[in-house]
A and B are shown apart, each in its own frame.
Chain A
Amino acid sequence: MSATVKDNDRLLLTVFVILVLAGPIVLAPIGASYPDLLQRFAIYGVFAIGFNILFGLTGYLSFGHAAFLGVGSYAAVWMFKLLNYNVIPALVLAVVVSAVFALVIGYVSLRRSGIYFSILTLAFAQMMYNLAYSVLTPITNGETGLQVYTDDPQWLQTAGSPTTTNLFGIRMNEVFWKPEFLGFEAQFNYGYYFAAVFLILAFYIALRIFRSPFGMMLRAVKSNQNRMGYTGLNPRPYTLAAFVISGMYAGLAGGLLACMDPLAGAERMQWTASGEVVLMTILGGAGTLLGPVLGAGFIKYLEAIFSKVNETVLQDWFSFMPDWMGDALSFVISPFVGEGWHLTLGALFMAIVIFLPGGLIDGARQLGRWIGGGFGGGDRKPAHSPVPAE
């Protein structure tokens, strides 16, 4: 049995790496191959993978993880302001600072479990949001958001170095290859590949944790915390370690967001952002390895599609119909698109929770079993699921 688990994991990892690296091509046919969206897929993938280490394994539902995302962004932008536009120090500080915050918030919140834990994390995140929005304006630049100004010190900025975020001269926003692919345009961008390296790393670390004794202990926490205590294990440090690790993932994601666009705003910490990562994880499949990445990609893709659609676009779609019919249809659909795309998300979320409690990954697995029948045997993770690279 042990050999097959290892082999499956190796296959899973290989397929994951290939799909991520081929992201711009794989996603070109669905019109998702442009830098901004690709970067979002990778970054929110990191965020969701980290969240899943806490929620998927231990069952502790944090409703405040966006706080760490925001902290990571602020830390990164401060590094841009103080040093220069190099992304490495920014990411290092983002991860370190979010780890410190996660340690403090986790230490307090993990004294309670269940709904009380969720409320505590939510309260902390809202406190941090409000602090960032108003009280701590000198550090966060309040409502406007933190950004780099020309009069910032930038001690390490030399005359020749780029004035946008870069990795030792490689600009994050640069598109280095724009091939036509089956009639679709694919955009290869340095920022995406930089984030993709972290996505792969994040996935690999999560895989190691899932298969390790530590991961087993975290699942034991979820399964029966009482028994854990009577078995001689102290659940607290295990849950705290998981909390800090997932906080660091969130901080890394926040730092990466700032690396792609050197801005940080308080709204990144708002409860809606915390809720979003919960949705991503559950939608994709909590407790599975690929699920959260899939969920993150799914939500970010839908967001990109639906929020772009507006009244004019709808009119355009239905222009072939008689006027009254087109008007009626666009009247029905318009609340679900543009600003209102969350309505669509909500409906989809409900549908998935009701009909696919295991999330998208469960759906893919069932589909795989349905189509493939025997082939591949009883593989636990469908390595051939449609677009896990998102």
Chain B
Amino acid sequence: MSYLTVKNVNKRFGGLKALNEVNLSVEKGTVHAIIGPNGAGKSTLLNCFVGRLMPDTGIVDFDGVSLLGLKPYEINQVGVSRVFQTPEIFGDLSLIENVMIPAFARRDGAFRMHGWEPVENERDLRLRAMDMLADVGLAPRANDVAGTLSRGDKRRLELAMCLVQQPKLLLLDEPTAGMARADTNATIDLLKGIAERGLTMVVIEHDMHVVFSLAQRISVLAQGTVIAEDSPENIKGNPKVQEAYLGGAHL
């Protein structure tokens, strides 16, 4: 059964057709990668899932709910979390606060006025946030200001912020971009561990090493159109993909 269903999605920016009749079907509990050359429309597509962009036409359904027209916070409350290409974190706040905020959002919904009891009294949430930071290897820096982290650490923090919410669907926009090889491998291991627990993920990625280590299913996007959707093995051997993606070179 399809968990995330994208049907005939079109998005036009002025004269540019960014997405052209895009179809996508993500199964529950799988990791689905979206690959494609620069400007293929990958990030645009992801933006249509989280309420940043509204497709001109088409359907985006998740778990039986249409995501179109919902505000970003409503989509998150449905259970969709997203890691951005440029990490979006609370740079002025400490790491532990960064992770506690999403935990609050999951527990208390989009708005709840807790204006009296100090944050410290929320021991359960704090512990959960600490565990999450430990999972991504940032526990020793829990009280540092998030803005001082390196780019790779920021992305791991953002991942922790998403994971602490125990989302139903995790969207990752180039989770390893700009990371050193060692960090990339650590991130792959981390994501693999999460995937094994049955979390559904959609990953946009340039790094083929990452894609083939993680994904069970791959969609290839080129010039706003899905030119192939298949298992990694078949994608590797697909001449159409090689043509579009690497100009004929072998993957």
Is B77 within 8 A of A219, CB to CB? no
* Minimum C-beta distance from B142 to chain A (A): 9
Contact B110 A233 (CB under 8 A): yes
Judging by beta carbons under 8 Å apart, are B76 and A227 in contact? no
Which residues 213-241 in A have Cβ within 8 Å of B in the complex? Answer: 213-217, 219-220, 222-224, 226-234, 237-238, 241
Q: Are A208 and B115 in contact (CB under 8 A)?
A: yes
Report B200-224 residues with CB < 8 Å from chain A CB: none
Residue contact B92 to A223, C-beta cutoff 8 Å:
yes
Known pairs A231-B101, A231-B102, A237-B111; A226 contacts B116 (CB<8 A): no
Q: Are B120's CB and A5's CB within 8 A?
A: yes
A6 vs B118: C-alpha distance when bound (angstroms): 9
Question: Of all chain B residues, which has the CB nearest A245?
Answer: B115
With A223-B90, A230-B76, A232-B106 already in contact, the answer to whether A2 and B113 are too (CB < 8 A) is: no
The chain A residue with its CB closest to the CB of B88 is A227
For residue B179, CB closer than 8 A to chain A, the reply is no
Bound-complex Cα distance A223 to B92 (A): 6
Q: Does B163 contact A (CB under 8 A)?
A: no
Contacts of B73 in A (CB 8 A): 228-234
- B102, A2: Cβ atoms under 8 Å? no
Which listed residue, B116, B143, B165, touches A232 by the CB 8 Å rule?
B165
How many residues of chain A have a CB within 8 Å of chain B? 30
- Chain A residues within 8 Å of B119, by CB: 211-213, 215-216
From B72, B93, B111, A220 is in contact (CB under 8 Å) with B93
Q: Mark B43-68, 1 if CB is under 8 A from A, else 0.
A: 00000001100000000000000000
**Interfacial residues of chain B within 95-111, with CB under 8 A of chain A in the complex:** 97, 100-102, 104-106, 109-111
A1 at interface (Cβ–Cβ under 8 A)? yes
With contacts A217-B101, A223-B90 taken as known, whether A230 is within 8 angstroms of B50 at the C-beta atoms is yes
- Inter-chain contacts of B106 with A (CB < 8 A): 232
Measured between alpha carbons, how far is A216 from B101 in the docked complex, in Å?
8
Q: Quick check: is A209 within 8 A (CB to CB) of the other chain?
A: yes
Specify which of B88, B91, B100 is in contact with A216 (CB 8 Å cutoff).
B100
Min CB gap B237→A, angstroms: 37
Is there a chain A Cβ closer than 8 Å to B181's Cβ? no
Known contacts A6-B118, A238-B111: A216-B76 contact under CB 8 Å: no
B100 close to A214 (CB less than 8 A) = no
At the interface, is chain A mostly helix, strand, loop or mixed? helix
A232 touching B91 by the CB < 8 A rule? no
Please state if B118 and A212 are interface contacts (CB–CB under 8 Å).
yes
Query: Chain A nearest CB: distance from B172 CB in Å?
Result: 13
In angstroms, Cα B122 to Cα A215, docked, is: 14
A-chain residues with CB within 8 Å of residue B117 when the two chains form the complex: 212-213
What B residues does A208 contact at CB under 8 A? Answer: 115-116, 118
B76–A232 contact, CB under 8 A?
A: yes
For A231, list chain B residues within 8 Å (CB).
Answer: 73, 76, 81, 101-102, 105, 161, 165
A223–B91 CB distance below 8 A: yes
The answer, yes or no, to whether B89 is at the interface (CB within 8 Å) is yes
Among B110, B116, B117, B165, chain A packs the most CB atoms within 10 A around the CB of B110
Chain A CB within 8 A of B197 CB: no
A362 to chain B, nearest CB (A): 16
If A211-B119, A222-B92, A224-B89 touch, does A232 touch B114 (CB 8 Å cutoff)? no
What separation, in Å, do the CA atoms of A216 and B102 have in the docked complex? 12
Once the chains bind, are A220 and B90 in contact (CB under 8 Å)?
Answer: yes
In the complex, A5 Cα to B119 Cα: how many Å?
A: 11
A230: chain B residues within 8 A (beta carbon)? 50, 72-73, 76, 81-82, 84, 88
Within 8 Å of chain A (Cβ to Cβ): is B71? yes
Docked complex Cα distance between A212 and B121 (Å) = 9
Find the A residue at minimum CB distance from B115: A214
Quick one: closest A residue to B167, CB to CB?
Answer: A232
Q: How far is the CB of A248 from chain B (nearest CB, A)?
A: 13
Known A-B contacts A212-B119, A216-B97; A233 and B111 likewise in contact (beta carbons under 8 Å):
yes
Report A247 CB to chain B, min CB distance, Å. 15
Determine how close the nearest CB of chain B comes to the CB of A67; give it in whole angstroms.
24
- Chain B nearest CB: distance from A244 CB in Å? 11
Check if B88 sits within 8 Å of A224, measured CB to CB: yes
Report Cα–Cα, A219/B91, bound state, in Å.
10
Inter-chain contacts of B113 with A (CB < 8 A): 214, 241
Chain A contacts for B82, CB-based, 8 A: 230
The 3 closest A-B pairs by CB, nearest first: A232-B76, A232-B105, A229-B72
Given contacts A1-B143, A230-B76, 6 further A-B contacts (CB under 8 A): A6-B118, A209-B115, A216-B119, A228-B101, A230-B82, A232-B165
